[in-house]
Chain A
Amino acid sequence: QKEVEQNSGPLSVPEGAIASLNCTYSDRGSQSFFWYRQYSGKSPELIMFIYSNGDKEDGRFTAQLNKASQYVSLLIRDSQPSDSATYLCAGLMNTGFQKLVFGTGTRLLVSP
């Protein structure tokens, strides 16, 4: 079992819809979670991070964390074609070391 799992997609949504991206993790020692957006040929760009159970909102983005279920999600409201990218979920182990464990990413396609 991979430490961080994501559906590879593609997830296709029409412009203006809500895109829901999901991620599960196996290690309960993971304390912090990050969502990165990666456009083709570019490096990952941090868009959201969440440390505590519950929801965290930032503009059109909402991250959700449920540590009991070991589940992380990212909601993108009012999806735009420019949101089309691969979204990487990553967990940071509570080892005192900066080791991010990444999922393989979900490709999101927003159609006009």
Chain B
Amino acid sequence: KAGVTQTPRYLIKTRGQQVTLSCSPISGHRSVSWYQQTPGQGLQFLFEYFSETQRNKGNFPGRFSGRQFSNSRSEMNVSTLELGDSALYLCASSLVPGINEKLFFGSGTQLSVL
């Protein structure tokens, strides 16, 4: 069974640009979450999607947005990039939302903003 697939693996952008990251969950998984990882802040929750609906959002500015498609694939978008947006963006999937559901992470997209 294929794992969580994230594309692209690496991305270099300049300030002010926008970027779209893609995530394909494990087959059969319907819940997708996004996390940002930086050396200083660790892993921080961005948002979670289930059945094409954003169910929860972390404390990030509105420049960070996402969506989920009917096949459970998800995208996140960051507009007007800032230097501080440089981070590893991780997508995680689970079968369904629930306290006993395990999250499995993709390899991440390393975003560098110059």
Contacts and interface: CB of A to CB of B under 8 A. Distances in A.
Interface stretch (A10-18, A53-61, A70-78, A90-98): A90-98
B25 to A, nearest CB: 12
Interface stretch (B62-70, B78-86, B97-105): B97-105
Contacts of B58: 99
Contacts of B26: none
A102 interface: yes
Given A46-B102, A46-B103, A51-B99, A99 B48 contact: yes
Given A95-B56, A99-B48, A99-B56, A104 B107 contact: no
A100 B88 CA distance: 17
A88 B43 contact: yes
With a 10 A CB-CB cut-off, give which of A34, A90, A94, A97 has the most chain B CB atoms: A97
B90 A97 contact: no
Contacts of B88: 43
With a 10 A CB-CB cut-off, give which of A34, A45, A92, A95 has the most chain B CB atoms: A92
Interface of A: 31-32, 34, 36, 42-46, 49, 51, 88, 90, 92, 94-105
